[in-house]
Amino acid sequence: MSSRGSLFVISGPSGSGKSSLANRALEDIPNLRFSVSHTTRKPRAGEQDSREYFFVSQEKFQEMVEESGFIEHACVYGYDYGTSEESVEALRQEGFDVLLDIDVQGGRQVRESHPEAVLVFVFPPSLEVLTRRLKDRKSDDENVITRRLNTAKEEINAYRKYQYVIINDDYEESVSELKAIIQDTGSAFRLENRHDRAEEIIKTFWEN
């Protein structure tokens, strides 16, 4: 492989389904690699160090921040998360396209430091569906769900700075859209073509 790979960012509220979409794209696109983030949160059941995340101490994370080891970093739900500059660069130099699954604060930092990055925002079809999905997970209690929904209300507005919008109603359709974006055939899902539907969904977030 010769030319430097591209950089993709996928963001969206918790429960939007962005991580499962990202996983499918990673399975289906051979040249695409996942950027494994560093985090100070503890592993959940089934998670493995250096696969889902590099699980590090607060001290180690701070050290990396001070050494400017991160392309971006942010505090999400009380824990720190960051994307290592070195590993992303190494993959891109090898010619791999790299996908970052990060929150909207991170997305903003990447947009500023890497203007060539392609940013994709995943919408739930409505607040109602998002609430149902979070409840169906059964992993979080009521307080956590309420907190996630409140965060979603704020972060969903950040979509306006993303170039592509996926409205994750039908999962298989969304998978094809994400793949089309990464493989550069997804112009129909560009922000300007999705703006009206996205604004309709945002309205549902503020109705009650």
Given the rule CB under 6 A, which residues bind ligand 5GP?
A: 14, 37, 41, 72, 74, 76, 81-83, 101-103, 105-106
Nearest distance in Å: CB 101, ligand 5GP? 5
- For ligand 5GP, the closer of residues 36 and 198 by Cβ is 36
Nearest distance in Å: CB 52, ligand 5GP? 7
Closest CA to 39 of 61, 14, 10, 68: 61
- For ligand 5GP, the closer of residues 44 and 207 by Cβ is 44
Q: Which single residue brings its beta carbon nearest to ligand 5GP?
A: 106
Nearest distance in Å: CB 84, ligand 5GP? 8
- Quote the CA–CA distance of 5 and 12 in Å, as a whole number: 23
How far out from the chain centre does Cα 4 lie?
22
- For ligand 5GP, the closer of residues 79 and 203 by Cβ is 79
Nearest distance in Å: CB 3, ligand 5GP? 25
Closest CA to 52 of 64, 70, 38, 73: 38
DSSP alpha helix (H) spans, the chain: 18-28, 58-66, 85-93, 104-113, 127-136, 142-155, 171-182, 191-205
- Give Cα separations from 207 to 2, 89, 173 (angstroms): 51, 43, 28
- For ligand 5GP, the closer of residues 2 and 67 by Cβ is 67
- For ligand 5GP, the closer of residues 83 and 168 by Cβ is 83
Nearest distance in Å: CB 196, ligand 5GP? 26
- Quote the CA–CA distance of 177 and 204 in Å, as a whole number: 23
